[in-house]
Amino acid sequence: MSATKHSLARWRVRAGYPLALACLWLSQPTPQTLRLGFLVGLFGLLLRAAAAGHLRKHEALATTGPYACTRNPLYLGSAMLAAGFAVAAASVWVAVLLACYLALFYPAVMRQEEQELRQHYGEQFDAYAARVPRFWPRLRLAEVRNWSFSWRNYLRNREYETAVGFAIALYLLWLRYQFG
């Protein structure tokens, strides 16, 4: 991991803890917003699961499956999870904080990861980057047909941790609703 990427990752995690506490404190969840937030977040979980189950890190450049629609399906899924959490929290301030966090860290991290992929895969990555958008997906039937999923990849990429984290976040919001 490069020094820049390591620094970004470290600050992203460090900033995440106080952000989570602030979001919990600012939240005003209701049973309805918790249900709706779960549904929004579920789309993010499913996208991340599909991407992680397709990804063979450090073995090959992922260009098919979810990676044929967006170069960053994991980050897009995380953004959907953040949106689900914001809906569940029922607070404009939570939505603003999460949007600022994503806007601050995601573009820089995505550019850094792209530099590393370009160094490793060269022209193959350049051709891929020329035809697939960085973040917002472009859906085409031909691209969607070529999806594969491996539970082994899903587990090796430890994507279950994201599902557990989202479940814990919703549980904490439920506790906030129950006990104020």
Predicted confidence band at 102 (pLDDT cuts at 50, 70, 90)?
Answer: very high
Find out whether 66 and 133 touch, Cβ atoms under 8 Å: no
At residue 65, the pLDDT reads: 86
Is 60 exceeded by the pLDDT of residue 1? Answer: no
pLDDT at res. 26: 95
Q: What is the pTM of this model?
A: 0.88
> Does position 38 have pLDDT exceeding 70, yes or no?
yes
Q: What is the pLDDT of residue 142?
A: 59
pLDDT band at 2 (very low <50, low <70, confident <90, very high): low
Maximum CA pair distance of the chain? 56
Considering the segment(s) 3-179 as one domain, its CATH architecture is: Up-down Bundle (1.20)
